[in-house]
Chain A
Amino acid sequence: MIKVTTPPAANPHPRLRPGRYGIAIAVAGVVAVALVASSFLNYVYLDTIPGRASLYGLLAVALIALGTYILVRAFSRDRAMRRKHLIRAGVLIGLGVLLWLLLIDVFVFTQSAGPGVAAICVLVCLPTTGFGLLVVRRMDRNEKEPWRLVLVAAAWGAIVATSLVIWGETIWEATAQRSLVPGPGLDASTAFMAGVLEELAKGSAVVLLFLVMRDEFDDVVDGIVYGAAVGLGFNFMESVTYMTNLYAIFQPEGIGGYAAGFQWYARQVLGLFFGHATYTAFIGAGIGIARQLPSVRQKGFAIASGFIVAIAAHFSWDAWLTFFPIQNSVFGLVEIHMRTLIMTGPFTAAIIALLIFGVRFEGQNLLDQLRKEASDGFGAILPDEVAVLASPWQRLKQRLRALNQGGPREYLATARLQSAQLDLAMERWHRERKEIDTPLGAEVQLRLRVIAMRPRSAP
Chain B
Amino acid sequence: MPSAPYDQVRTLYRTILVFATVGVLVLIVGLVEFVHFEPPGQATGAKARIVGVYVYDPATGATSGSDQGQFARSQQFAAVVDWSSLPSGITVDARWYDAFGDVVGRAGPGTPAQLAAHQVVPVVVPSGFHHSLPGSYTFVVERIQGAIPVEVLARRIVLVQRT
Q: Please, how many angstroms separate the alpha-carbon atoms of A191 and B73 in the complex?
A: 29
Chain A window 131-156, contacts with chain B (Cβ cutoff 8 Å), 1 for yes, 0 for no: 00000000000000000000000000
Q: Residue B8 contacts which of A181, A249, A316, A357 (CB distance < 8 angstroms)?
A: A357
Residues of B within 8 A of A309 (CB): 16, 19-20, 22-23
Q: Residue A312 contacts which of B12, B22, B73 (CB distance < 8 angstroms)?
A: B22
A312 touches B26 (CB 8 A): yes
Known: A252-B73, A357-B15, A363-B1. A181 touches B149 (CB 8 A): yes
State whether the Cβ of B70 lies closer than 8 Å to any Cβ in chain A.
no
Residues of A within 8 A of B133 (CB): 249-250
Known: A180-B38, A248-B162. A301 touches B17 (CB 8 A): yes
Residues of A within 8 A of B134 (CB): 248-249
Between B2, B23, B24, B133, the greatest number of chain A beta carbons within 10 A of the residue's beta carbon is seen for B23
Interface-lining segment among B44-52, B83-91, B150-158: B150-158
Chain A window 304-334, contacts with chain B (Cβ cutoff 8 Å), 1 for yes, 0 for no: 1110110111011001001000000000000
B15 touches A364 (CB 8 A): no
Q: Please, how many angstroms separate the alpha-carbon atoms of A436 and B16 in the complex?
A: 23
State whether the Cβ of A426 lies closer than 8 Å to any Cβ in chain B.
no
Residues of A within 8 A of B162 (CB): 112, 248-249
B73 touches A319 (CB 8 A): no
Residues of A within 8 A of B130 (CB): 252-253
B38 touches A185 (CB 8 A): yes
B131 touches A181 (CB 8 A): no
Q: Which residue of B lies closest to A299 (CB)?
A: B13
A289 touches B16 (CB 8 A): yes
Q: Please, how many angstroms separate the alpha-carbon atoms of A358 and B135 in the complex?
A: 46
Q: Which of A86-126 contact B (CB under 8 A)?
A: 112
What's the nearest-Cβ distance from chain A to residue B51, in Å? 20
What's the nearest-Cβ distance from chain A to residue B49, in Å? 18
Q: Please, how many angstroms separate the alpha-carbon atoms of A188 and B31 in the complex?
A: 8
State whether the Cβ of B62 lies closer than 8 Å to any Cβ in chain A.
no
Q: Is the interface of B mostly helix, strand, loop or mixed?
A: mixed
Q: Please, how many angstroms separate the alpha-carbon atoms of A188 and B39 in the complex?
A: 13
Q: Please, how many angstroms separate the alpha-carbon atoms of A342 and B155 in the complex?
A: 36
Residues of A within 8 A of B97 (CB): 182
State whether the Cβ of B138 lies closer than 8 Å to any Cβ in chain A.
yes
What's the nearest-Cβ distance from chain A to residue B102, in Å? 10
A368 touches B3 (CB 8 A): yes
Residues of B within 8 A of A298 (CB): 13
State whether the Cβ of A354 lies closer than 8 Å to any Cβ in chain B.
yes
Q: Which of B38-87 contact A (CB under 8 A)?
A: 38, 73
A285 touches B16 (CB 8 A): yes
State whether the Cβ of A410 lies closer than 8 Å to any Cβ in chain B.
no
What's the nearest-Cβ distance from chain B to residue A455, in Å? 30
Q: Please, how many angstroms separate the alpha-carbon atoms of A427 and B79 in the complex?
A: 69
B30 touches A181 (CB 8 A): no
Residues of B within 8 A of A396 (CB): none
A289 touches B9 (CB 8 A): yes
State whether the Cβ of B92 lies closer than 8 Å to any Cβ in chain A.
no
Q: Please, how many angstroms separate the alpha-carbon atoms of A458 and B91 in the complex?
A: 85
Q: Residue A220 contacts which of B12, B22, B131, B142 (CB distance < 8 angstroms)?
A: B12
Q: Please, how many angstroms separate the alpha-carbon atoms of A368 and B7 in the complex?
A: 13
Between B101, B130, B135, the greatest number of chain A beta carbons within 10 A of the residue's beta carbon is seen for B101
Residues of A within 8 A of B20 (CB): 304-306, 308-309
> Measuring CB to CB, which residues of chain B are less than 8 angstroms from any residue of chain A?
1-4, 8-9, 11-13, 15-17, 19-20, 22-24, 26-27, 30-31, 33-34, 36-38, 73, 95, 97, 101, 129-131, 133-136, 138, 140, 142, 149-152, 155, 157, 162
Nearest 7 interchain pairs by C-beta: A185-B37, A312-B23, A305-B20, A185-B38, A312-B26, A188-B34, A364-B4
Instruction: List 19 A–B pairs whose Cβ atoms lie within 8 Å, in order of A's numbering.
Output: A177-B136, A178-B157, A182-B95, A185-B36, A192-B34, A248-B134, A253-B129, A293-B13, A305-B16, A306-B16, A308-B27, A311-B23, A312-B23, A315-B26, A315-B27, A361-B4, A364-B1, A367-B3, A368-B4
